[in-house]
Amino acid sequence: MKWLGNNWDQVLVALGEHIVISFTALAIAFFLSLVIGILAARSERVFRWAIAFTGFLYTIPTLAFLALLIPVVGLGRANAIICMVAFSLMIMIRNVAIGIREVPADVVDAARGMGMRGIDILAMIELPLALPVIVAGLRIATVTVISVAVVAAYINAGGLGTLIFSGISNDFAPKIWVGGLTSCALAVAADLSLARIERWLRHRAD
């Protein structure tokens, strides 16, 4: 832990990079999944096609996916972000679609009966009520994305993985510890915070 004391700035930089690419990927995935998810909620065909395709993407091993993108986009953050978005889409589209579908039909019916337009119903009724499920999906996606970002350091995307890889190739255990434990801590912290938000949303809905 002496190493940490002397090099905490290095760790912070890595942590910062990690958070930036993760957040970017999640933001992109979130908006994409909202659009596709809403479409999928309305159409059984879109739903099944979207789930099948993104499910296929999700099964691809992380490192293999990054590697397969190299001939196309080379190394670096763009590669990593594409991979992270692809993985997140599977979970998020499914959760957006399912979340909207699970809104009780009688609630939507009442809204329509009161003269609300489709877009109003979506914005004021369906999405708010689907929020707990959507956040549950966001939670899983976040953890996944943080995990991918650790590996993506190997293709020059930066992040906490750089510490780990440096530690492994130089056989320098402190770097492995710091890199490994910090990324675990980041993942757990993100998961717990989102879990709390999810719980709060569910309570509000009751």
Partner 1 sequence: MLFIDAWQFIVAHPGRFAGALTTHVALSAAALGLAIAMAVPVGVLLADSRRGTQLAITAANFGRTLPSLAVLALVMPLLGTGFVPALFALTLLALPPILINTCAALQQVDADLVDAARGMGMTYAQVMNQVELPVAMPVIFAGIRTASVQVVSGAVLASYIGGGGLGDFITAGIAMMALPQLLVGAIPATMLALGADWLFGLLQRTLTPVGMRAT
Contact 37, 98 (CB under 8 A): no
Q: Is 170 helix (H, G, I), strand (E, B) or coil?
A: coil
Report the alpha-carbon distance of residue 158 to residue 134 in Å, rounded. 29
String of contacts with partner 1 for each residue 97-136, x by CB under 8 A: ----------------------------------------
Q: How far is the CB of 166 from partner 1 (least distance, A)?
A: 11
Beta strand ranges found along the chain (DSSP E): none
Taking the least distance from each CB to partner 1, the nearer of 12 and 70 is 70
- 169 exposed, middle or buried (CB, 10 Å; 0-12, 13-18, 19+)? exposed
Tell me which residue of 200, 59, 71, 66 sits closest to 131, measured CA to CA: 200
Please report whether residue 178 would count as binding partner 1 according to CB under 8 A.
no
Contact 86, 78 (CB under 8 A): no
Taking the least distance from each CB to partner 1, the nearer of 71 and 113 is 71
Please report whether residue 176 would count as binding partner 1 according to CB under 8 A.
yes
String of contacts with partner 1 for each residue 148-167, x by CB under 8 A: --xx--xx-----x--xx-x
Residues of this chain that interact with partner 1 (CB under 8 A) are 56, 59-65, 67-68, 70-71, 75, 143, 146-147, 150-151, 154-155, 161, 164-165, 167-168, 173, 176-177, 179-181, 183-184, 187-188, 191
